[in-house]
Amino acid sequence: MVRLALIAHDEKKDDLIAFAREYEDVLADYDLIATGTTGKRLLEATDLEIERKKSGPLGGDLMIGSEVAQDLLDGIVFLRDPLTAQPHEPDISALLRICDVHDTALATNLASARYLLEGIDDVS
């Protein structure tokens, strides 16, 4: 089963929810994990089953990075806010590095997130 992580900066959480609703039928077949607040919002807005890690400021992004290092994840959708990200929000640089080391797909915007899902679907 495909295992996918979902993360979003505060200003991008609504975009991630809209994305999850748009692709809910596809994502329903995946094993999903998310950082705490993002996961809570997704659970409230969709019928998806999502394993919640800690919130980003409490290390949830590092927990997801650990799964990449253990080759447990097929990809990450991390909708980041490149203009107004707050200091308490997850930093993408560590996740980017670990994804590059382990050749794990990482989408940082809606366009690349769509391509990521299409690519996973083509490979599966």
Which tokens is 37 given?
């607040």
Establish whether 60 is an annotated binding residue.
no
* CB 116, CB 45: distance < 8 Å: no
- Residue of 61, 74, 103, 121 with catalytic role: 61
Q: Is 88 annotated as a binding residue?
A: yes
- Structural domain spans, the chain: 3-123
CATH superfamily label, 3-123: Methylglyoxal synthase-like domain (3.40.50.1380)
Is 14 among the residues known to form the active site?
no
Would you give per-residue pLDDT tens digits along the chain (124 residues)? 999 999 999 999 999 999 999 999 999 999 999 999 999 999 999 999 999 999 988 999 999 999 999 999 999 999 998 887 676 666 788 999 999 999 999 999 999 999 999 998 777 6
The dihedral region occupied by 77, where left means phi > 0, alpha psi between -120 and 50, and beta the remainder, is beta
pTM of the complete model beyond 0.75: yes
Is residue 38 annotated as involved in ligand binding?
yes
